[in-house]
Amino acid sequence: MRELYPEIEPYRTHRLAVDSIHTLHVEECGNPAGLPVVFLHGGPGAGLSTYHRRFFNPAHYRIVLFDQRGAGRSTPFAELTDNTTWHLVADIEAIREQLEIERWVVFGGSWGSTLALAYAQAHAERVLGLVLRGIFLGRPQELRWFNELDGGAAQIFPERWARFLAFIPEVERDSMLDAYWRRLTSDDEATRLAAARAWSAWEGGSTTLLHDPDAGGEFEDPHKAVSLAVMEAHYFRHNIFLEPGQLLRDIGRIRHLPATIVHGRYDIICPMKSAYDLSLAWPEAHLHVVLAGHSAADPAIVDKLVAAADQMADRYC
């Protein structure tokens, strides 16, 4: 099985002001003359990790990564003003123009797959191809699946769900999203941080195929927990700023583009049904269903993502 490429450091970083409020952290890695690829992280609000640079052969790729509005090293931290799917789509274009890239590969997982589809459908002429993982289409049933009592994920990870549920009084549990939102936007800092930690522990510990119900998960850091929880709740409350079924409805705009879809059969955060529905609407895309959960670090997912990136490089290099 393929593994991640060795660790690599950026050869250039940027601070890109995209409006009067938001400034993005952008980094470039690999070969400045290589095939351009933009990496879209998950969340919303999760920010970059150093391993995100490692899906791509640094000899072949000019790797562009950025922290989305309000996340990671972009500023202001956890800022919700002018923070929507379409602001992020515009940011991707601003980065492309700033770096003088004509066309590029788009690579995204989880929420990053949602953003990748939205961007590609809006700017298909700027896209060479897509590599997508852990498909999330932003539909109401997907939002309820992981966040509400009747969603389904609670039946699979009941120990972890019990802790997520216990944070909210019983009288407010008819809408867990709204109940958490009230606490995430509380005037009391301790309440906001406690809510962010509870939200992020539920999600961050539910990503891998081999599940430890008592493990803290990948969002234990308070800084990341806050941006993830606040941003996700903001986007979820607005139905991801998409029209119902929009990403499947508009798939015809990108069906001519080469694409690989990788999804874990036992992904509990973004169930397999979303990848299946996308593949039905986009039969030209190559769907790989693997023995894995949601995490991009699960070995079977790493194998297929690295292979897909290598194949895209072979196609264009």
Residues designated as active site: 110, 267, 294
Cis amide linkage into residue 169, ω under 30° from 0: no
CA gap 52, 45 in Å, rounded: 15
CA atoms within 13 A on the CB side of 289: 13
For residue 271, give the DSSP letter: -
Q: CB count, 10 Å around CB of 108?
A: 26
* 8 A C-beta contact, residue 228 and residue 203: yes
Torsion sign over Cα 166, 204, 234, 158: negative
Alpha carbon 64 to chain centroid, angstroms: 15
Q: Is residue 12 packed enough to be buried (19+ CB in 10 Å), middle (13-18) or exposed (0-12)? A: exposed
